[in-house]
Structure 1
Amino acid sequence: MVFLRSADKRRSQKKALCRPPSPCDGPISCLYSSCDAAAAASTSQENTKMTKDLLHDRILNFYEDAFDRLPWEGMSELAQVMSTGGLCVGLLDPVSNIILNTVSLLPPGFQLQLNVLRPRKSRRLAIANRTKKKGTFYDIASRSYLALIGFLLDYFGCLTEEQAGRYLRWADADLALAVLLVEYDLCFGEAERLPVPDPGSGRTQASLELAVRRAGHPAPDRIVQLTASVFLPQRLEAVKPLLVAGGTEVTLDNIYLLQGLIQDSNHAPQGTRCLSNKATDEGAVVHAMTSDYISSLRSHQDMESMRSACLAKAYSLKSSRLKQLDCGESCEHLRSLEMWLQDTVHSLYLDAIAMLPRRHGTNNGHIRAGHCYGPLGPVANIIINSIWYSRLCPLPSSARYDNNDDILDTLSMLRIQVRSLEGVMEAVRAMAPTFSTKDVVKSLCVTRCDITQMLRTARSSSSDPFLRAAVAAQHPLPAAISLFHKQLAEDTAKMDDLRSLIDTAGVLSVGDIDRIADLVNITPQVQPSSLQPQLHKDAYSIMLRKRSEYECNRKYFRSKVAEMLDKYAAQHPWKENIR
């Protein structure tokens, strides 16, 4: 496809190509960067302890506020329940999380110790009692801190405990706000995002469950289920005054109202509608057609306003420095971006593996040459590069092993992921020679390693991005793969067929693999060596024995995993598609 552009448009595109990505310079993480690695290491432990102490005191104040809003004079067991499992972890504000998590642990038929109609005690008496209770919540405040830190570490995978503590401190222990601040520093600031982490995603649910388990919560599934369930709008509207920042005092009637909401979540699959059934005169059941997560009680405008306030303060502090530090490769923000980018590449390979059939005959190409750079999207590139190399350089029959369809750990994919990342970074450098290392990393974080847009605007570049990428990634056939990518990029019909085939398939069939192989059957004009290393007789015998041992272990592990999944599914019937 040929696009006709004016001279002005071509000049503007060339300038855009040479310009660094849209600003996402990590205002919070850059405030704590140090060019002196030794000094940074020596103060890291001290800073972590100081942040922990400050956050713990702040969380302790949240428990005092939550306890003061609850009808403690009518429920003697309330303080004990709160100190046991009332974590301030969740996607609402900290105080609302404490209230909701505390009520969720109350048994449905709890007994009131005092008369329900007894009036609330005076404010002075409430403050005196709260002071006595302060020591009661010291332990649960510490466990809440651990859960908050653990969620950020698991959710992002590229933060240290010290960094996670900083974001929580800036967010005033508000987990959802802390996630938004981290995402901004990791170049998600310009993207259209949800106001809070998606409660229906497996990533959010897994991070939340791990976090509350580490904090010793007595019923971690209950918090996850309450967060991931969806409710009728009228149900959420009824509890909204109770579960927002600065909400109203909670009465005993409100406790029953919250318990009804929690009971609804106990019967709703995660990520699906939580429907209240209403029997009609004819005995039929009417189902509501709209629903939402409990986190929707926080509006997008409120979350954006709080995030903007934090970022404005961070930018103000950053600009007030008399001397801006340029730490180069040791910049803390750059290190965080690099770790996030490595995690992104890892997820791309998991997506590609999930699309391949169990026995697809491309394992050799996948491990040796399945890089993520090329003229298509990164996942599609991994697949077609693997198939192309497997068909061009097939293993001899004596070296094939048809049962290697299980991945027992991620270390086997580490080498190809690291080399693939080096290749795609070199491709960006070839197309944008003025980019610094930080600019390259930021651009790849924003696009999730998708360089197709840059390729469209850099076709007149004197440097060959495909060849430079293949050489940097130590591809077995750099010249051949470069020529293959060039020929494929020029065949728009074949590109469209490949996109259509890969994008529309959930899992590729063996027939799809053969179809892709036919489409990528482009003569490279570079003949690879047909010589394959031959094993010594004794080495070959050892290899066969190792394969037999591996097959026995594989069957054993698969049976145990299947048994564990069946048991977990029986214990958690509200979770779908576990296997």
Structure 2
Amino acid sequence: MDGRRRRSGRPDVSYGNSDGIAHNRSVILGTIHGYYKEALAVLPLDDLPELAPRLVGAGVCFGFGDPTTNIIANTLSSFLPDKPDPDHRAKKHKRKASIKTPSAAARSDAAGDAPSPPPETRTIAERSLEGLITFLTSYFRYLPTWDALRYLCLANADLLVAVRLIELDRCYNTKDERFHISSYAARAALTCAASSARQPDVDGFIAGSFSLASHLEFVTQTVLADRSYVLSVEKILLLSGMLKKKPRMLDKSDNPMIFADERRLRNCHTDANASGDANCEKVPGGLTISLRAVLLDKIHAKYLKAISRLPMQDVRARYHLPPCPCQRWLLLWPIQLCDQHHRQHSLV
């Protein structure tokens, strides 16, 4: 993040080792707690105390923006402001006294000061981590949890930065291979992540995420313009109303992956950055298990493409054996060949 780069430490690469996984989870949680402290510093909890329970309930840090922006946007997407009160200023002092408990609870929950509770009562930071892991392992095939944790460490718990790092390691260079938020796979992964994070309103969260993406540049600039000041109530109401609108067509300036690439180059530390050579990204040996499966998929796709260009009659005559009737799931075979084979078997 601008001017406040967060170093979460090097990830543990003891793949599949319980101690390494626990270390990486601890490092990522520490980073996520820092994002919540930033979000709490700019939210006007004194003027709008109803924001506190919304943050604790729905303000996860994953989405299509940077983590701090995601926390604020997800909080405001579920925020229903009360009608304006003409005596707001006169009642301000009384309201301050009445919100000390929920505000303090929100800060304690987001900062991770309380001991780790059972799964059904996890803190918002712990639920965010579960959602981050679920998104990556749902979207990318053959990505185990410990690899997802490694990428999240490198990306400082920034979802789209982690997505980009995985694309680089897996050599996803074509337009069809790269991540698109409008794809069915991205929506499905986001839905799984929201369910894993126990979002109270999954459909509302999905709608709010795409609304954020369609206004990403404006929302990000508004939230992060000057974090030395608390956001005004007027700006909170403006952002809340904007995030509840129907998502518009994604403008090029609002492309989330462009912002993610900028954050990756500015903030995250990779193995290449550590060696000082931006053109030499070393893939750790532990990744070879999942990368081997990805490579086999790519080889399989090449064979399918080659077979599709061969004359179909020649392929059927020279290389395919007619299937038995019990193999009718092989839809590439003509029905007449199956019937002929069945008659031959019945004569034996």
Q: TM-score normalised to the size of structure 1?
A: 0.45
1:315 matched to 2:269: no
| Counterpart for residue 292 of structure 1 | 250
Please give the alpha-carbon distance, in whole angstroms, between the structure 2 residues aligned to 1:245 and 1:381.
55
CA apart distance, 1:256 = 2.0
Q: CA RMSD in A?
A: 4.5
| Counterpart for residue 294 of structure 2 | 340
Please give the alpha-carbon distance, in whole angstroms, between the structure 2 residues aligned to 1:74 and 1:299.
34
Kindly tell me: are residues 388 and 262 of structure 1, through their superposed partners in 2, closer, same or farther at Cα, counting changes over 3 Å? farther
1:110 matched to 2:36: no
| Counterpart for residue 234 of structure 2 | 253
Which residue, 177, 193, 201 being the options, matches 1:219? 201
CA apart distance, 1:250 = 2.3
Which residue, 261, 264, 275 being the options, matches 1:304? 261
1:135 matched to 2:108: yes
| Counterpart for residue 144 of structure 1 | 128
| Counterpart for residue 47 of structure 1 | 20
Specify the SS of the correspondent of 1:73.
coil
Specify the SS of the correspondent of 1:58.
helix
Q: Which one-letter code corresponds to 1:143 in the other structure?
A: R
Please give the alpha-carbon distance, in whole angstroms, between the structure 2 residues aligned to 1:381 and 1:338.
23
Kindly tell me: are residues 531 and 258 of structure 1, through their superposed partners in 2, closer, same or farther at Cα, counting changes over 3 Å? closer
Q: Tell me if structure 2 keeps the 8 A contact 1:153–1:160.
A: yes
| Counterpart for residue 43 of structure 2 | 70
Larger radius of gyration: 1
The correspondence of residues 170-319 of structure 1 with structure 2, limited to 5 A, is 170-188=154-172, 191=173, 197-228=179-210, 238-244=218-224, 249-265=230-246, 268=247, 274=248, 291-292=249-250, 296=254, 300=258, 303-308=260-265, 313-315=270-272, 317=274
CA apart distance, 1:55 = 1.4
CA apart distance, 1:147 = 0.2
Please give the alpha-carbon distance, in whole angstroms, between the structure 2 residues aligned to 1:294 and 1:208.
22
Specify the SS of the correspondent of 1:74.
coil
Deviations 1:367-396 (A, max 9, x none): xxxxx43xxxx4353474766432446766
CA apart distance, 1:99 = 0.5
Specify the SS of the correspondent of 1:255.
helix
Question: Which runs of no fewer than 5 residues in structure 2 stay unpaired?
Answer: 1-10, 113-122, 335-339
CA apart distance, 1:245 = 7.7
Kindly tell me: are residues 250 and 312 of structure 1, through their superposed partners in 2, closer, same or farther at Cα, counting changes over 3 Å? closer
Q: Tell me if structure 2 keeps the 8 A contact 1:74–1:113.
A: no
Identity %: 23
Please give the alpha-carbon distance, in whole angstroms, between the structure 1 residues aligned to 2:203 and 2:34.
26
Kindly tell me: are residues 71 and 310 of structure 1, through their superposed partners in 2, closer, same or farther at Cα, counting changes over 3 Å? closer
CA apart distance, 1:178 = 1.0
The correspondence of residues 465-484 of structure 1 with structure 2, limited to 5 A, is none
Q: Tell me if structure 2 keeps the 8 A contact 1:89–1:98.
A: yes
CA apart distance, 1:403 = 6.9
The correspondence of residues 405-424 of structure 1 with structure 2, limited to 5 A, is none
CA apart distance, 1:317 = 3.9
CA apart distance, 1:224 = 2.2
Deviations 1:389-441 (A, max 9, x none): 32446766x9458974889xxxxxxxxxxxxxxxxxxxxxxxxxxxxxxxxxx
Bigger RCO of structures 1 and 2 (CA < 8 A, at least 6 apart):
2
Please give the alpha-carbon distance, in whole angstroms, between the structure 1 residues aligned to 2:286 and 2:225.
33
Specify the SS of the correspondent of 1:264.
coil
Specify the SS of the correspondent of 1:218.
coil
Please give the alpha-carbon distance, in whole angstroms, between the structure 2 residues aligned to 1:394 and 1:206.
37
| Counterpart for residue 431 of structure 1 | none
Q: Tell me if structure 2 keeps the 8 A contact 1:62–1:94.
A: yes
1:389 matched to 2:304: no
Q: Tell me if structure 1 keeps the 8 A contact 2:212–2:219.
A: no
| Counterpart for residue 63 of structure 2 | 90
